[in-house]
Amino acid sequence: MIAYGVLREGGRSRVAARVEGGVLDLAAGLGDVFAAPSINPFMARGPDFWRETHARVRELDGPLLEPEALELRLPFEVADYVDFFSSLHHATNMGRMFRPGSEPLFPNWRQLPVGYHGRAGTVVPSGTPVVRPCGQRRPPGAEEPTFGPSVRLDIELELGFVVGVPSELAAPVPLGRALDHVFGVVLLNDWSARDLQAWEYQPLGPFLGKSFATSVGDWVVPLTELEDRRVPAAPQEPEPLPYLREEPWAYDVPLEVELNGAVVARTTSRHLYWSIAQQVAHLTSGGATLRTGDLLASGTISGPERDTRGSLIELSWNGEEPIELPGGETRSFLEDGDAVVLRGEGLGEVRGRIEPARC
């Protein structure tokens, strides 16, 4: 499976391709567009150039570099960042935890891909330390909020879809052409401070609880490389409005979560309810543009069983059922020094270690 990233050597960065057996330096063989410090110029060239490049990469006979010996950079310059909420099981679990006795899904959830705009400036490459964020939180039973380090730091196992071809202002991208704008997929960890999020999110949604770090993998896998992973999905009920209506589908990519060396969850992206095509169609339906380097995240990917949940808040059921680790330790949320690795078959991994707060 081909993937594209950016390596740095000798004081300069350029585009590389991960192929079977190693990594190819594309700047040496495929032209100036690959001598850039990101894959954005390559992505902006569009689907015909992408397909031509994939074919040429398969034919290249250059020296293969060892991935472990390379200094890898953030593979693309992030333009805008949107995080969706597209897993039915995750959304249902969150609703059951925080609104027991009520319908777990808000009425709009099955009508449109819910999302929020995040901060592009804190999207970081795999391996970047994650500093525990600070902010306001009001613990259960407290009358007033306090300010300090988050005590309910969490992960979110997600896919990120990277836009290659921009769109025009005020020109909605129709569902049938949405994938023409999307270059590929990257593994993503949307770190979350649940206590900050719980206090601040009403009425306008996540803010400091989500703004401090979002980690992405070193490699972006073109959508064309995932064509054999596209599978039918369960019917969407009720049927979406016409601009979102398509035969339900998803990519079936096996995923896992490792915490301090122990795998605590395994799931698959086929559990996503809304497709990336529907997300693009909805995002642009009001006139918003797509830009080269836009990052559209799926939201936490969770399955129906406990060990298929993609966040610690679900795995520990908001702390009521702590996760047991080898050696007798337990976790409900992340502690300083904890190391998290997310993996996706063919996509690689995303690593991060928690460092103490600085407030």
Q: Catalytic residue, from 54, 89, 90, 117: name it.
A: 90
3-state secondary structure of 245: coil
For residue 197, give both structure tokens: 């999020």
Residue 282 designated active-site: no
Give the distance from CA 29 to its chain's centroid. 31
Q: How far is CA 6 from CA 39, 173, 212, in A?
A: 7, 29, 23
| CA angle in degrees (0–180, nearest 5) for 120-15-72 | 65
Distance CA 74, CA 67 (A): 15
Q: Which of 21, 348, 23 is nearest to 186 (CA)?
A: 348
Nearest to 8, CA basis, from 33, 36, 29, 43: 36
For residue 8 the two structure tokens come to 């740095």
Name the phi and psi angles at 332, rounded to 5. -105, -40
Decide: 174 and 283 in contact? Cβ < 8 Å: no
CA distance 130 to 337: 10
CB atoms within 10 A of CB 329: 14
CA dist., res. 137 & res. 139, Å (int): 6
Up-side HSE of residue 2: CA atoms within 13 Å toward CB? Answer: 23
- The CA distance from 178 to 91, in Å, is 24
Burial class (CB in 10 A: 0-12, 13-18, 19+), 267: buried
DSSP 3-state percent helix, strand, coil across the chain (nearest 5)? 25, 30, 45
SS3 category, 137: strand
Helix (DSSP H) and strand (DSSP E) numbers for the chain? 7, 25
Just list the catalytic residues: 90
